[in-house]
Amino acid sequence: MARDSRYDILFEPVKIGPVTAPNRFYQTPHAAGLGWQRPKAGAALRGIKAEGGWGVVCTEYCSIHPTSDDSPYGFLTLWDDDDVEALARTADAIHAHGSLAGIELWHGGSHAANRMTRLAGIAPSAIPAMYHLPTTARGMDLADISAFRGWQRDAAIRAKRAGFDIVYVYAGHDYLPFQFLSPRHNQRTDEYGGPLANRVRLLREMIEDTKDAVGEKCAVAVRLAVDELHGPAGITSEGEGRDIVAMLAELPDLWDVNVAGSLGNDSKSARFSPEGYQEPQVAFVKTLTTKPVVSVGRFTSPGVMVSQIRRGIQDFIGAARPSIADPFMPTKIREGREDEIRECIGCNICRAANNEGVHLRCTQNPTIAEEWRRGWHPEKIASYRKREKVLIVGAGPSGLEAALSLGRRGLDVTLADRNAKLGGRILNESALPGLSTWIRVRDWRQHMISKLNNVQVFPSSEMTAEDIAGFGAEHVVLATGATWRRDGVGVNGMERLDLPRALTPDDVFAGAALAGDIVIYDDEHYFMGGALAEKLARAGQRVSIVTPNPSVSSWTAMTDELGFLQARLHEIGLTMQTGRLLLGQGAGHLRLACTASGKESEIACDTLILATGRLPDDRLLHQLSATPQPFAVHRVGDCLQPSSIADAVYSAHRFAREFGEAAGAVPRRERPPVKDFT
Ligand code: ADP
Ligand code: SF4
């Protein structure tokens, strides 16, 4: 198909200092959890982005010195010459598709815990090490600053040798150069502290040093947090953020700007921010510099992207999450296939992987970070050798994914669901406050399935074991999901309780009557407890939430949402009792116990809603297994293991990829050959 001419502007080349990006799609640096230990996987991931059409592809954060060690999280290193070869693989993989390779040189300052290297942390002043109490980072003296400048220079030279085209000076996300800028962190009284002109000194020197070292061949980019969202006490886009850009406007070759303070502000979930949410803070940058500017904002709509360029907000379309959800987004727009973009839903499961220190994962794109270790390509899948019939029961995320991927492999697929609408759990979950984008998981798959002649979809079709047995498929895939449990068993409360009047989220979605004082008991700890409470409170219900954990929806700390969620729940006046275990339900009240002391208490309750965990709906499996069948029965998604939508999609995708193949459960791992062990 021909490209829509309105989007031509997105495919214009843009000069960045001595190099030229082939188009305006710019994958900004983002963590992938692969780090220096997994260079092949890292190279394959970035290579796929370049293949998908991103004109600039950057690495994850790359430490310039062992005093900046983020173990156990995945981060790159350019500590010595031995690191060059591994990173050259990434630059080569990006260049193979004609894109520019960028590298984000990083020093975390008081952010780095140095758990592996065990070196003393450094910072502009002696300040507590962020997130890693009880350590205090050492205040740097002038000799330290001079050494630090040397590390940046040496790392830049190594980056150039590895083949990178864009080398970063990274003054964002509360890391060391930003700590010098921030009056909250920088309490120095010498020429690097005090007035802004002094606090900017190190950043200016770093840009000059880096340009001096590699500027003839490589562009030097500055990543700057122009607003740390701490109000007047910190850097703001109306105050010192603006002044910093004004002072250094023409010095770097590119400005990569964002809202930070912490990573959570820069990668807010859709629950707490719309597409393009950073524009109010970053829009001023282009008015102060002639250098190209890039920023982010979960851009997935080509129309919004064009508007960003035409209105002069930025020169590139910066993206981390949208490039994870769809590495081929630029190619799809270029080829007039924008309807096929697998849009990021803003759920931040990718951030959870980072916070857990494991391989990147994504709800929408099950192939991310699997490019090398499982050989998966987001746009290609091997054909199946025979034309066999598969019946899939259940059209939630896993059933849809199985139907799409098996359909792409050429099998004869029938997908049946008892509901009139496809989507399974997402139908209800996307109706919760802030989660409407989650329906994209269904929409994209349903749309892509509609393009396949070999996949037939039957909504409003309840399937019994007899129906399945009589269908005549060679393979049956059960994707029948899970139901919320009603016995009170959760992460903390292992004992089954007798709670005959308790409701579950399934009951609430099915329209159960809710009366009087409503208590939601959250012992599952992801989004459901908090989101359901918010929904009911906004509908005018009298609702409290009780949880054994120290905070409601505590696992949302992993998706960087917990702080925003707490603020919202307080804002709507929700009553929260934390550290309380459910013991039982009496007339008009619940009996609770303090998790620390065991002291018992009561809370008024006319309606109890249990969000404690889910159980697989595997009834069909048991019925079908009762007698020998002439077909194979498989399970995918929540019906196999109740978990996140991301896990349901992944489970179905892996099933479809490995269907009829010899592939085992063990993925490839990057290990030095045993002969190298000394
Ligand atoms: P997952 O996350 O694994 O995709 P969901 O709970 O989202 O699981 O989806 C399960 C789907 O299976 C629901 O849409 C439900 O209507 C459907 N389903 C369950 N049992 C049957 C059945 N016997 N016949 C048809 N559809 C079924
Ligand atoms: Fe987007 Fe969610 Fe995928 Fe992250 S995990 S890229 S937020 S869809």
pLDDT at 344: 97
Give the nearest ligand 2 atom to 365 CA. Answer: 3
By C-alpha distance, which of 73, 65, 187 is closest to 123?
Answer: 187
pLDDT digits (tens, 9 = 90+) for 308-337: 999 999 999 999 999 999 999 999 999 999
- Per the CB < 8 A criterion, the answer to whether 308 and 275 are in contact is no
Nearest Cα residue to atom 8 of ligand 2: 344
Question: For ligand 1, is residue 424 a contact (CB within 6 Å)?
Answer: yes
Give the nearest ligand 2 atom to 349 CA. Answer: 5
Residue 131 in this model has a pLDDT that exceeds 70: no
> CA-to-CA distance for 500 and 521, rounded, in angstroms?
15
Could you tell me the CA-to-CA distances from 404 to 168, 392, 450, 502 in Å, in that order? 40, 11, 9, 38
Could you tell me the CA-to-CA distances from 584 to 448, 544, 609 in Å, in that order? 48, 16, 13
Name the percent of the chain lying above pLDDT 70: 98
> CA-to-CA distance for 395 and 284, rounded, in angstroms?
46
> CA-to-CA distance for 142 and 209, rounded, in angstroms?
16
Give the nearest ligand 2 atom to 348 CA. Answer: 7
pLDDT at 266: 78
pLDDT at 386: 87
Distance 561 CA to ligand 1 centre (A): 28
By C-alpha distance, which of 580, 515, 518, 573 is closest to 544?
Answer: 518
Angle, in degrees to the nearest 10, between helices 142-162 and 82-95: 50
Catalytic residue among 26, 61, 170, 175: 175
pLDDT band at residue 347 using 50, 70 and 90 as cut-offs: very high
Residue 273 in this model has a pLDDT that exceeds 60: yes
Give the nearest ligand 1 atom to 423 CA. Answer: 14
Q: Which ligand is nearest to the CA of 444?
A: 2
Mean pLDDT of 19-41: 97
pLDDT at 128: 85
pLDDT at 263: 54
Max intra-chain CA distance, the chain: 83
Strands 19-21 and 14-16: antiparallel
Give the nearest ligand 2 atom to 269 CA. Answer: 7
Q: What is the mean pLDDT of the chain?
A: 95
pLDDT band at residue 470 using 50, 70 and 90 as cut-offs: very high
Distance 359 CA to ligand 1 centre (A): 29
pLDDT at 677: 66
pLDDT band at residue 143 using 50, 70 and 90 as cut-offs: very high
Nearest Cα residue to atom 2 of ligand 2: 347
Q: Which ligand is nearest to the CA of 649?
A: 1
Distance 650 CA to ligand 2 centre (A): 13
Residue keyed to tokens 């307080």: 570
Give the nearest ligand 1 atom to 427 CA. Answer: 7
Mean pLDDT of 224-236: 85
Nearest Cα residue to atom 20 of ligand 1: 480
> CA-to-CA distance for 358 and 33, rounded, in angstroms?
5
pLDDT digits (tens, 9 = 90+) for 593-618: 999 999 999 999 999 999 999 999 99
Question: For ligand 1, is residue 477 a contact (CB within 6 Å)?
Answer: no
By C-alpha distance, which of 48, 3, 53, 52 is closest to 23?
Answer: 53
pLDDT digits (tens, 9 = 90+) for 369-410: 999 999 999 999 999 988 899 999 999 999 999 999 999 999
Q: Which ligand is nearest to the CA of 429?
A: 1
pLDDT at 663: 74
Residue 671 in this model has a pLDDT that exceeds 90: no
Question: For ligand 1, is residue 363 a contact (CB within 6 Å)?
Answer: no
Q: Which ligand is nearest to the CA of 645?
A: 1
Distance 270 CA to ligand 2 centre (A): 10
pLDDT band at residue 132 using 50, 70 and 90 as cut-offs: low
Give long-range contacts, CB 8 A cutoff, 24+ apart: 197-204: 197/247, 200/244, 200/247, 200/248, 202/145, 202/148, 202/149, 202/177, 203/169, 203/171, 203/177, 203/244, 203/248, 204/247, 204/248, 204/251
Active site annotation includes 526: no
Which one of 344, 356, 440, 649 would you pick to mutate in the ligand 2 pocket, going by the greatest count of ligand atoms within 8 A of its CB? Answer: 344
Nearest Cα residue to atom 6 of ligand 2: 321
Amino acid (1-letter code) at residue 399: G
Distance 351 CA to ligand 2 centre (A): 8
> CA-to-CA distance for 293 and 253, rounded, in angstroms?
9
pLDDT digits (tens, 9 = 90+) for 544-585: 999 999 999 999 999 999 999 999 999 999 999 999 999 999
pLDDT at 8: 97
pLDDT at 262: 61
Distance 646 CA to ligand 2 centre (A): 9
Question: For ligand 1, is residue 425 a contact (CB within 6 Å)?
Answer: yes
Question: For ligand 1, is residue 465 a contact (CB within 6 Å)?
Answer: no
Distance 660 CA to ligand 1 centre (A): 24
pLDDT digits (tens, 9 = 90+) for 101-112: 999 999 999 999
Distance 349 CA to ligand 2 centre (A): 6
Distance 287 CA to ligand 1 centre (A): 52
**Cβ neighbours of 668 (radius 10 Å):** 12
pLDDT at 474: 95
Residue 61 in this model has a pLDDT that exceeds 80: yes
Q: Which ligand is nearest to the CA of 368?
A: 2
Question: For ligand 1, is residue 590 a contact (CB within 6 Å)?
Answer: no
pLDDT band at residue 675 using 50, 70 and 90 as cut-offs: confident
Question: For ligand 1, is residue 418 a contact (CB within 6 Å)?
Answer: yes
pLDDT digits (tens, 9 = 90+) for 542-552: 999 999 999 99
By C-alpha distance, which of 411, 399, 381, 385 is closest to 446?
Answer: 399
Could you tell me the CA-to-CA distances from 288 to 245, 248, 312, 450 in Å, in that order? 7, 10, 12, 48
Nearest Cα residue to atom 3 of ligand 2: 362
Pocket of ligand 2 (CB under 6 A): 321, 324-325, 344-350, 362-364
pLDDT digits (tens, 9 = 90+) for 618-670: 999 999 999 899 999 999 999 999 999 999 999 999 999 999 988 778 889 99
